[in-house]
Structure 1
Amino acid sequence: MSKSARNRNNRQKNPLTHSGPPWGAIAFFSVIGVIVVAAIGFAAWQAFKPATPIAGLVERDGLAQDHVETRVQYDTVPPMGGKHNPVWQNCDGRVYDQPVQNEHAVHSLEHGAVWFTYKPGLPADDLNKLKEKVSGTDYTMLSPVQNQDAPIILTAWGKQVKVNDADDERIDAFLKAFLKGPQTPEPGAACSGGKATP
């Protein structure tokens, strides 16, 4: 028997040397591919699924963005946007114990900040919780507002929600939705290097 015939016979006897398709490897990589596609699809769904609406959310569109050096008469307390001072209020997790000027705070909203305001007389426990949340979160600021009509109000550019206490779940939902959110007119703009005092 020739050498090539012997090699051919040996290959036929040894199943590990057959030249057919590697079905095991094909099946393995097919399963891996299905898992990867499913994982990517689930991640995309999580990223783009509609958010649960925030109860009591007030929204405004078409707010002016002009810079002015004068005081502005806003139609909400605190204001949700509109004309504002050229200098923003520092909102790098800043806690103010005195009211800040609306015109500076509105400029911060334009940069993507969330402004926490509270009515003076808020229970100390609630105030401490707000201070803790703000001081650890960039693009936020906290200040008192004498004549607001709710104990706590969260405001972003064109967005606002009123809550009664610092444990309200809507606080975190509002931050997640609007802190540097899609409503931000000037994304990437600074929240420090502006006005540092009330």
Structure 2
Amino acid sequence: MGKLTTCDDAKSNLKLDWDPRDYTVFTCPNEYSFAIQKNVDPISVDMVAHNTSFDPRKDEVVHKCMDTVLQYDELVPIRGDHRPNWAKYGEYLYVPVQRWLHNLEHGAVVMLYHPCANQYEVNSLREILTSCLYRHVITPYNKLSHTRPIALVSWGARIEMNYVDEEQVVAFIKKFARRAPEDISRNGLYDQFLVRPAQIISDENDSNICVDYRLGH
């Protein structure tokens, strides 16, 4: 794990995971965004809390070459087999789950948002994550629900939200970033439709998570 292989150059046969002609994955089909509902609480999952024998730092999965279809039982997977090459850190027009799962394996936090999510909430979550962590990936993800259309995912954990609670978001990032099988900061090779590369915050290793972020700023 964490090594490049000849069966995936991050350029060939990419349609196996996503055909770029399918713009529905990053486009809202409706004129209006989903409503903000302050009475909708976030839903969080932490595999450690539900399974005391699960150790995210010792978890093992498999790298699957670009001749194998990868599908997942969960709508928002938090672990699983994935492609050998991970995505370069940053924000994408769209990056498929088969790539960003590998980023999670390296200690990243991935921000997902439904294309119809409220743009103010998307911007708020983006601002927090990019101020806290170099190892992040941001992408639309249309499998999120209309009631909780924004999410953060790490290896073995996720939180799905209707709106951004700044304190909860920062707490999630601090707790779950770098809690993964491989604490690797090296950037990935996959960069199809990368629109904004990640910027280093504390250092490339994310030694101090959210070091310059202040609640309520």
TM value normalised by structure 2? 0.58
In 2, distance between residues paired with 1:133 and 1:67? 31
Matched residue of 1:155: which SS? strand
Matched residue of 1:57: which SS? strand
Equivalent residue, structure 1, for 2:121: 126
1:142 equivalent to 2:138? Answer yes
Matched residue of 1:153: which SS? strand
1:105 equivalent to 2:100? Answer yes
Which consecutive aligned stretches of 4+ in structure 1 deviate over 6 angstroms post-superposition? none
Structure 1 unaligned residues grouped into runs of 5+: 1-54
Matched residue of 2:189: which SS? coil
Say which of 165, 190, 193 aligns to 1:195.
Answer: 190
Structure 1 residue 160 displacement after superposition: 1.0
Equivalent residue, structure 1, for 2:20: none
**1:95-154 Cα shifts (integer Å, max 9, x gaps):** 1132x1111101000000011101111122112222322333211111110121221111
The residue type paired with residue 152 of structure 2 is L
In 2, distance between residues paired with 1:123 and 1:57? 20
Q: Is the 8 A contact 1:95 1:135 kept in 2?
A: no
Say which of 121, 140, 156 aligns to 1:158.
Answer: 156
In 1, distance between residues paired with 2:188 and 2:103? 11
Say which of 166, 179, 182 aligns to 1:186.
Answer: 182
Matched residue of 1:86: which SS? coil
Matched residue of 1:104: which SS? helix
Q: Is the 8 A contact 1:68 1:86 kept in 2?
A: yes
Say which of 57, 77, 80 aligns to 2:44.
Answer: 57
The residue type paired with residue 185 of structure 1 is P
Equivalent residue, structure 1, for 2:169: 171
Structure 1 residue 170 displacement after superposition: 1.8
Larger radius of gyration: 1
Aligned residue pairs, count: 138
Structure showing greater relative contact order (alpha-carbon pairs closer than 8 Å, 6 or more residues apart): 2
The residue type paired with residue 129 of structure 1 is S
Q: Give the stretch that moved more between structures: 58-67 or 137-146.
A: 58-67
Structure 1 residue 64 displacement after superposition: 4.6
Matched residue of 1:169: which SS? helix
As a proportion of its length, which structure holds more helix? 1
Equivalent residue, structure 1, for 2:26: none
Q: Give the stretch that moved more between structures: 164-173 or 143-152.
A: 164-173
Equivalent residue, structure 2, for 1:77: 75
Q: Is the 8 A contact 1:85 1:103 kept in 2?
A: yes
Q: Is the 8 A contact 1:80 1:158 kept in 2?
A: yes
Structure 2 unaligned residues grouped into runs of 5+: 1-41, 48-53, 194-217
Percent of residue pairs bearing the same amino acid type: 30
Structure 1 residue 168 displacement after superposition: 4.6
In 2, distance between residues paired with 1:140 and 1:191? 12
Equivalent residue, structure 2, for 1:95: 91
In 2, distance between residues paired with 1:101 and 1:171? 23
